[in-house]
């Protein structure tokens, strides 16, 4: 097939919502947020609010998919905060640590929007430390944070 025909078919597929989106539309506040299409079935014609709602739902159901998002939005991060808190309340510290490690990796990007005041600075302060130490520091920060989810209790 010729290049113009393939381009036209691609545009038609997008217009009909037959293709999957892997980012918010250009010009959106979180246009730098990207996700792996293999883990999120987001139609290309979906509205940004619905996209974010679906991705947040996917994170709630399968928290590890958070690791397949580049520059997650603050709402996506807050879902992860809630899951971390839930794991700690259930005394599943290992799982909470795994989720905290996903958050640490997300903050490797300078383009991520901070979901809680001071979070970027708290993460940056642990940059030269080993991962287990960084995870504990992040969990301590989240425990001290005024969370809409309640208080995350840390066990010493």
Q: What would the pLDDT profile of 26-46 be if each residue is shown by its tens digit?
A: 999 999 999 999 899 899 889
DSSP 86: H
Question: For residue 72, what pLDDT is reported?
Answer: 98
Give pLDDT, residue 52: 97
Whether 12 is covered by a domain: the verdict is no
Structural domains in the chain (count):
1
Q: Please, are residues 42 and 55 in contact by the beta-carbon 8 Å criterion?
A: yes
CB 123 within 8 A of CB 107: yes
Q: What CA–CA distance (Å, rounded) separates 77 from 89?
A: 18
Establish if 154 belongs to a structural domain. no
Residue 139 lies in a domain: yes
Q: From CA 68, how far away is CA 37, in angstroms rounded?
A: 9
Residue 34 lies in a domain: no
Question: Does residue 39 lie in a domain region?
Answer: no
| H-helix segments, the chain | 3-15, 48-61, 74-89, 93-106, 119-124, 131-144
pLDDT of residue 146: 57
User: For residue 135, what are the domain limits?
Assistant: 46-144
Dist CA 103 CA 132 (whole Å): 13
Residue 100 inside a domain? The answer is yes
Q: Does residue 21 fall inside a structural domain?
A: no
- Judge whether residue 1 has pLDDT over 50: yes
The residue-averaged pLDDT of 58-82 equals 97
- Does residue 31 sit within a domain? no
Q: Indicate the pLDDT class of residue 144, thresholds 50, 70 and 90.
A: confident
């Amino acid at each position: 097939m010729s290049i113009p025909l393939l381009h036209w078919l691609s545009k038609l597929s997008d217009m009909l919502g037959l293709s999957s989106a892997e980012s918010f539309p250009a010009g959106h506040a979180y246009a730098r947020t990207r996700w792996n299409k293999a883990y999120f079935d987001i139609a290309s014609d979906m509205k940004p609010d619905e996209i974010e709602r679906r991705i947040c739902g996917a994170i709630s159901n399968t928290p590890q998919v958070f690791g397949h998002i580049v520059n997650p939005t603050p709402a996506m991060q807050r879902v992860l905060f809630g899951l971390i808190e839930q794991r700690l309340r259930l005394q599943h510290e290992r799982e909470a640590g795994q989720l905290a490690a996903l958050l640490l990796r997300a903050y490797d990007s300078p383009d991520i929007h901070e979901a809680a005041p001071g979070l970027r600075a708290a993460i940056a302060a642990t940059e030269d430390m080993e991962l287990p130490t960084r995870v504990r520091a992040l969990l301590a920060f989240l425990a001290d944070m005024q969370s809409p989810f309640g208080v995350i209790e840390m066990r010493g």
